[in-house]
Amino acid sequence: MKQHRSGPLSDLRIIDLTQYLAGPFCTMLLADLGADVIKIEPPGGDPTRQMGPLPPDSKGCDYGGYFASVNRNKRSVVLDLRNERDRDALMRLVDSADALVENLRAGAMDRMGLGYEVMHARKPALVYAAIRGFGDRRTGESPYLNRPCFDVVAQSMGGLVSFTGPEGGPAYRTGAAVGDIYPGSLAALGVVSAIHAARRSGRGQFMDVGMYDAILALSEEITYQYSMRGRVMRPNGNNHQTLVPYGIFPTQNGAVAIAAQTDHHWQILCGIIGRPELAKDERTLTNRARLKNAAFVRSLLSQWTGARPTREVVAALDGKVPCGPVNNGQDIFEDPHPRIREMLVETPMPGDNPPVILAGSPIKFTETPSGIYARAPRLGEHTAQLMAEIGASN
């Protein structure tokens, strides 16, 4: 871990009213980049505190791996926003902040008298950010506005599920919760952009990211394919819709990714697999030709990779043709790259618990280093500290 909070956003303070994954991932990114993120939790805490895997000493630690991962580098304050005293404390914290981020149901903050208009009247320079399933009425009132939304719903409605899965088979959600993580990532960019504008103009604004919208943007190919060709994309397995060979191929003990769609890389690959004549074969000379004969190309390459262990295939193509092994968690822990790049960070856990290894920040800087510098907080761990700072009792 880093020794202290640093990074290009170390001059920012963010009030974090988010729970579950999309919102906490957004504020985690900001915290990793140095922002002082104050996580406001209800008396019962963020529900993900109790999601596993849980540590052996559960009395000394009130959260598990899920919460630890996306709430590192934050300070926790417990406020019950149903009572006036705690709502006032929130507003006093807002006075010292650059932005507030929430992912509650549409209208929830307004009903408590804490919506954007109230916040803006109190502090015109504040950026108010929301992550919701279907956006907010202020930026376009969706007919689905009041529906709850989670990752799998966003992935499905945004189109990603429709072309993910085995070729000719059923549609699949992706393994990673991109329906939460991608909207959260876009929201972090939006927050930084809006703060930049506010510092120029002195005027903050409301911004939101709809989870449906974010996944539609991520799945951008389905829009132009349908617009220009009337084509509805379907699951295509581990292969690309228009590039050949470009996909996942079996090996004796696993699988590898190979991307030899350019004619240059295809010619090199033909030599490596012992079929140099295919580099000049009309059936495989260009990507367009290979696309027409995709089954032949993929079968040929699968036979070659399938007869060899993963390590041998990667070694043969290394530095010549874009390729890589299909890594699982154990493989990643054994790979030197994530350690060298500080992508596996040993982070302490409260109580009598061993540390947990978390995925580090992929955004690297030479002058303003960022990353994990503090474990996730226990519920309300910093309430007294922050209340004293604003002159409020708790």
Over residues 89-141, the pLDDT tens digits come to 999 999 999 999 999 999 999 999 999 999 999 999 999 999 999 999 999 99
Give exposure, 349-369, as e/b (b: 16+ Cβ within 10 Å): bbeeeeebebebbeeeeeeee
The reply to whether 6 falls in a domain is no
| The total number of structural domains that make up the chain | 2
Structure tokens at 191: 């927050």
282 and 355 inside one domain: no
Asked if 275 and 300 touch (Cβ cutoff 8 Å), the reply is yes
263 and 362 inside one domain: no
Over residues 239-294, the pLDDT tens digits come to 988 899 999 999 999 999 999 999 999 999 999 999 999 999 999 999 999 999 99
Structure tokens at 135: 């956006």
Whether 180 is catalytic is yes
336-345 contact pairs (CB < 8 A, 24+): 342/371, 345/1, 345/371, 345/372
Give the integer Cα–Cα distance in Å for 136 and 273. 54
59 and 202 inside one domain: yes
The reply to whether 209 falls in a domain is yes
The reply to whether 272 falls in a domain is yes
Over residues 172-218, the pLDDT tens digits come to 999 999 999 999 999 999 999 999 999 999 999 999 999 999 999 99
The reply to whether 129 falls in a domain is yes
145 and 284 inside one domain: no
Structure tokens at 186: 């876009």
Dihedral, CA of residue 181, residue 172, residue 104 and residue 110, to nearest 10? 120
DSSP string, 104-142: PPTTHHHHTT-SHHHHHHH-TT-EEEEEESS--TTT---
Residue that is last in its domain, among 272, 299, 325: 325
The reply to whether 229 falls in a domain is no
Give the integer Cα–Cα distance in Å for 353 and 54. 10
189 and 55 inside one domain: yes
Residue 129: CATH number of its domain: 3.40.50.10540
The reply to whether 247 falls in a domain is no
205 and 120 inside one domain: yes
> For tokens 């295509």, what's the residue?
236
Residue that is last in its domain, among 302, 325, 348: 325
111 and 83 inside one domain: yes
Residue that is last in its domain, among 268, 299, 325: 325
pLDDT in the model for residue 394: 61
263 and 198 inside one domain: no
276 and 360 inside one domain: no
Supply the range of the domain harboring residue 320. Answer: 255-325
Residues in the chain, how many? Answer: 394
Q: Beta partners for 13?
A: 36
345 and 384 inside one domain: yes
Over residues 216-228, the pLDDT tens digits come to 999 999 999 999 9
Cβ contacts of 208 within 8 Å, gap of 6 or more: 129, 130, 131, 132, 135, 136, 138, 139, 187
319 and 366 inside one domain: no
The reply to whether 237 falls in a domain is no
pLDDT in the model for residue 393: 72
* Active-site residue, selected from the candidate residues 86, 180, 208, 213: 180
Residue 294: CATH number of its domain: 3.30.1540.10
The reply to whether 138 falls in a domain is yes
Cis peptide before 245 (omega within 30 of 0): yes
